[in-house]
Amino acid sequence: MSSHAPAGWFPDPFARHEHRYWDGSQWTEHVGSQGRQLVDAPIVAPPAPVVTQAAAGAPAQVLVQTPAANKKVQRQIQKLGVDDASRTGGGTLFTELVLVVNQKAKLFEKKAEYEVFNQLGHKVGGVREFGRSMSRLVVGRDSSTKRLQIVDALGQPVLTLTRPATMLKSRVVVMREDGTIVGQIAQENFGVMASMLGGRFNIRFRMESEGEILGTINAESWRAWDFSLQDPRGNEIGRITKTWAGLGKQSFTKADNYVLEMYRQLEDPLLTLVVSAALVVDTVLHQSSGDQRSR
């Protein structure tokens, strides 16, 4: 068996976990068991092949199981110019430097739902809005309390994001599945008349944990479609960019697509806050900008 099998998730050949990620040349430390993503140092060995016999006397056919790649996602990445195989991570939400967030197209959207892919087009997670708040009767649907669940590639919950009902500024609380608070993403300004004032007051959010500001999310225009991610010193550490959803989606649905690009591997809790921001940019950050996205 060649050691150059395609990258993907496979049953852990060392029988310590349910799955382990193969990066195309070696086993990585990224593993999964019972829906939880863990880290466990591997023993170097190629993925075990699946051997099938087509018929008696026919040569054995070797098949390697690997997730199917989404070609549309690959085209998004190529068009944006951020495709770089050397930056491919471990195949999970928190080990990739590039994530593609695509909203599922619905003519009548009641609850937002998204799929998340890495730059190779492999699904690494998802986002689903859940619950219904009575606050919508007072402040309206867009300003009512929103709850979103972040799930991994196997559909298991990893984070819960809550945005309490808001009238002016929004705030998103990020919580792990075990109930611990990671931090929050809080709006700092209103973005009012930003386009008339040269973008000086474009909408801006801060990412903070335990009272410490870890970075900011800065809209690059009054439309709040593209964001610059910066550390507390103003250095850009990444970007969130809106991409073209396609003529059908763009014209007849509210589906939006975004790409998160991180320039380096971040550490928690900043990493979790940055990923969370990218996954709720359309549901919370963009819609909070006041732009009604006329189509």
| 74 has a pLDDT exceeding 70 | yes
pLDDT digits (tens, 9 = 90+) for 278-287: 988 876 665 4
Mean pLDDT (the chain) is 75
pLDDT digits (tens, 9 = 90+) for 18-37: 778 787 777 787 788 776 77
What is the 8-class DSSP label of residue 245?
-
pLDDT > 70: percent of the chain: 68
pLDDT band at 159 (very low <50, low <70, confident <90, very high): very high
Q: Where are the domains of the chain?
A: 8-63, 71-289
Q: Which pLDDT value is given to residue 41?
A: 66
- For 71-289, the fitting CATH number among 2.60.120, 3.40.50, 3.20.90, 3.40.190 is 3.20.90
Q: Which pLDDT value is given to residue 27?
A: 79
Q: Where are the beta strands (DSSP E) in the chain?
A: 8-11, 19-22, 27-33, 36-39, 50-52, 61-63, 98-103, 113-118, 123-130, 146-152, 157-163, 171-176, 181-187, 204-209, 212-219, 227-230, 236-243, 257-262
Name which residue leads in pLDDT, 283 or 45: 283
| 40 has a pLDDT exceeding 90 | no
d(CA 72, CA 10): 24
pLDDT digits (tens, 9 = 90+) for 209-239: 999 999 999 988 766 678 999 999 999 999 9
Bridge partners (DSSP) of residue 12 are none
pLDDT band at 16 (very low <50, low <70, confident <90, very high): confident
Across 49-70, average pLDDT: 50
Q: Which pLDDT value is given to residue 174?
A: 96
pTM greater than the 0.85 cutoff: no
What end-to-end distance do the CA atoms of the chain give, in Å? 53
Q: Which pLDDT value is given to residue 180?
A: 94
Q: Which pLDDT value is given to residue 263?
A: 93
| 191 has a pLDDT exceeding 50 | yes
Q: How is residue 48 written in tokens?
A: 């075990």
Q: Which pLDDT value is given to residue 247?
A: 44
Question: Which of these ranges, 97-101, 187-191, 194-198, 211-215, has the smallest mean pLDDT?
Answer: 194-198
| 50 has a pLDDT exceeding 50 | no
| 82 has a pLDDT exceeding 70 | yes
pLDDT band at 194 (very low <50, low <70, confident <90, very high): very low
Across 181-204, average pLDDT: 71
Other beta carbons less than 10 A from residue 153's beta carbon = 22
Locus of tokens 């219904």: 132
pLDDT digits (tens, 9 = 90+) for 235-272: 999 999 988 654 444 443 345 789 999 999 999 999 99
Is residue 101 within 8 A of residue 118, CB to CB? The reply is: no
3-state secondary structure (DSSP) of residue 285 = helix
DSSP letter string, 22-57: E-SSSEEEEEEETTEEEE------PPPPEEE--STT
pLDDT digits (tens, 9 = 90+) for 106-153: 544 567 788 999 988 889 999 988 776 555 544 455 667 888 999 998
